[in-house]
Structure 1
């Protein structure tokens, strides 16, 4: 059934594939500029009682649930309907930060989480179906188009980090920061930052200089405005993916149950089991950036106003690598690029572990953050490309599984941030890097073996056909 659906979608998108991918990228840039800006500041500006970190854990906890059931709801609401719903939830989340108490943050966080699985699974379906349609129309190898279209999207998706974070730094720099209200001097505060920071220290020792509340409200109002613009673009700019659903409620329920079961079934396959550790690594890298780097390595030693510029630099290099590394993988081989990326990420965490906070250490930590953006962007794009090539006929279930595991990894990592010191978190990251590189090498070996078996079956089938043709010719000659 999925294969017929893919073919239909490809024909309907004919001639509009590239424009659709670019439109989708623009929508995500606008919507996520506000979300990324807020996300990177939550652990600092909403540090009281840990409500910022708790709200993010609610987002990704609900994300896990919504990702699993995403294929079911996409069958009913359509991919564009799910994208619109996701844009509305991000608008509500940005608005809730104008009055950031527990009940507003947690309810908005739950809404975002429960729609994010639909949003990101729909995004994966749009990119994959555009690539399939383009490959069929232009007679271009599908593998190259998957890498190209995912590269275009993730190149664009790096710009929310640039726009949102630059906006946050520019606005927050207009505020006043009174250092005399803290319990410790600047030199003592800096020594407690970096790998030495523990969750309770940020509250008991007054390590953070917070901006004027009015400045924060102005920033959140700007992010809310961006979310409104993104919602309007999604409604009027993005073409729909035509997915037909019958009006029978019994038929709809059966489709939803079948879709959820297919998502569960994908996770029992050997290829997906070997793929999961790399997905978890990517999710841990992402959430370590939002929670730990912004808090322990930038806000603590240098001030919250520098978080935006650091994350914007990370986003620029993230976008560059998203665009270039899939092309490099096509030239020299995906397995060499992916292995190098995982090793590079491991090395970046060595940098976070050994870096000693100093008053003039901002250029050093910004350099490490920039390099990590280069590595994380390439890893994200190549993972999506690899998944698209592995499951060309089950894109909805495959991308739902991808987002489920990413959300689960983010939830676990954010939860650990509430209890563990930075040094302990870094050791966990090293262990995950080791597991990821072992599982990825095993995955490439499995896919190579599977490809060889397919080629052998294809050759045997051709040989059987040739024998039958020769037999038919001999029979004809005899007559």
Structure 2
């Protein structure tokens, strides 16, 4: 008995062949995988309206893509739960690969099906990303005895900082590979560019395969049986988040986060950057925007520790974007000289800071407040983001810049009102012990 007891005392706490998972390593891999994939996709998205101009193939494809993204995001939560977040991430990359490949031979027969499928794949990869990163952060905090909110903020700061860098890298690649011809005119340059994009995406997909799985088999099997047993469970996964008061209060902010991104792509570059800097200046302005976004994401993530810090950071980002909106609405006019170049770039920096704030803090607060149904929370994020993005792409040619600015101001005010009420509601619930 003594020998048996001694052997038990000397036995390692972790059995051989069962090493501890390095959660920070998974966060690094996920961030670099998205860097490779979205450096290619982001730059390709910026080029769609200029390289595929025949019958507005590029812009129409983007509208179809985001409409598909919206519809599939409604049912992405049970799909991700059924597949597992790692498998959803890997499967999601296939849509981006197909979309870039279709740009090598652009036509209605290649681009439209690829856009529809990318909408499906994007819903998987983004819900999978939010779920996976939050799970990694929670596990890291638990294993290392750290404050969960701080770790979630740090992981999101790193991820969104890397993601925002894709605007810089992608635009620089475009600038270098298309420098010998105007956009859309250099066929060989465009082919080379999309071939490089395809290679970058393949590297990102390979990196995804090195992620650890984070879904328990028992939970996965139970969810799979529930998902396949009836349509009712699928409908409940779509409707149940909308019965949560916390979700209803944060939905306006989720919608605005998509609206402010689409505003940059569809309106700001067209009505502010191009008149001041010319079409060739769009890439440089977007690179500046991306650099500010990346730096702010890293900084904001480091300062995130809980609801109070999130409230202050989001309020600061909203204030900065409101300044830009009021500037454009009330005082801005095209000027000559050095200020004509400085003002648009300054607005790009300020807007990029706001975008970095919204990306890091929204993902952090969803991870903190919706622990029981993380997939559904991130699915709602993508539903509302993609819906507002699709709306902007479709209505942009139909309304004036002034009208769009008014929509943005009203949207920002409503979203911040809902957000602040949410914070008060959550703090009241915590203080009452419910």
1:242-294 Cα distance to aligned partner (Å, 9 max, x none): 34244998555038853652342112211111101111111011111222233
Structure 1 residues 220, 422: CA separation in 2 closer, same or farther (over 3 Å shift)?
farther
Shift of 1:295: 3.0
Per the TM alignment, residue 310 of structure 1 is displaced from its structure 2 partner at its CA by 1.7
What's the TM-score, normalizing by structure 2?
0.87
Q: 1:211 to 1:297 in 2, by over 3 A?
A: farther
1:35 deviation in Å? 0.8
* Paired residue secondary structure (2:75): helix
* 1:134 equivalent in alignment to 2:140: yes
1:32 aligns with 2:5: no
Which residue of structure 2 aligns with residue 102 of structure 1?
108
Verify: 1:355 aligned to 2:361, yes or no. Answer: no
Aligned to 2:261: 286
> What pairs up with 1:175-324 in 2 under 5 angstroms?
175=181, 177=182, 211-235=185-209, 237-244=210-217, 245-246=220-221, 252-254=227-229, 258=233, 261-299=236-274, 301-324=276-299
Question: Distance in 2 between the 1:89 and 1:43 partners?
Answer: 20
Q: Secondary structure at the match of 2:137?
A: helix
Structure 2 segments unaligned to the other structure (5+ residues): 1-17
> Matches of 2:333 and 2:196 in 1, distance apart?
35
- Whether the 8 Å contact between 1:131 and 1:149 is mirrored in structure 2 is yes
- Deviation readout 1:300-330 (Å, 9 max, x if unpaired): 5544433222212111111111111233343
> Does 2:127 align with 1:93?
no
The corresponding residue for 2:162 is: 156
Residue 112 (str. 1) matches residue 123 (str. 2): no
State the 1:214 CA deviation.
3.1
Distance change in 2, residues 1:383/1:268 (3 Å) = same
Q: Find the partner of 2:65 among 46, 59, 70.
A: 59
Contact 1:53 1:418 in 2 (8 A): no
Contact 1:169 1:306 in 2 (8 A): no
CA deviations 1:437-465 (Å, max 9, x no partner) are 211121111111111121xx6xxxxxxxx
Query: Equivalent residue for 1:121?
Result: 127
- Cα offset for 1:371? 1.5
Which stretches of structure 1, 4 residues or longer, exceed 6 Å deviation after superposition? none
Give the C-alpha shift of residue 377 in structure 1.
Answer: 0.5
TM (norm. structure 1) is: 0.80
Unaligned stretches of 5+ residues in structure 1: 1-11, 178-208, 458-479
Confirm or deny: 8 A CA contact 2:292 2:353 kept in the other structure: yes
User: Given the alignment of the two structures, is residue 174 of structure 1 paired with residue 198 of structure 2, yes or no?
Assistant: no
CA RMSD, Structure 1 to Structure 2 (Å): 2.5
Structure 1 pair 289/211, CA: closer, same or farther in 2 (3 Å)? farther
Q: Is the 8 A contact 2:180 2:186 kept in 1?
A: no
CA distance in structure 1 between the aligned counterparts of 2:167 and 2:216, rounded to whole angstroms: 32
- Per the TM alignment, residue 401 of structure 1 is displaced from its structure 2 partner at its CA by 1.3
- Counterparts of 1:130 and 1:249, CA distance in 2: 22
1: CA distance between counterparts of 2:342 and 2:185? Answer: 23
Q: What is the aligned length?
A: 411
The question of whether the paired residues in 2 share the 8 Å contact of 1:210 and 1:304 is answered with: no
Match of 2:355 in 1: 376
CA distance in 2, matches of 1:223, 1:442: 43
Q: Separation in 2 of the partners of 1:26 and 1:451?
A: 37
1: CA distance between counterparts of 2:341 and 2:119? 33
Residues 82 and 224 of structure 2 are in contact (CA less than 8 Å); yes or no, is this contact kept in structure 1?
no
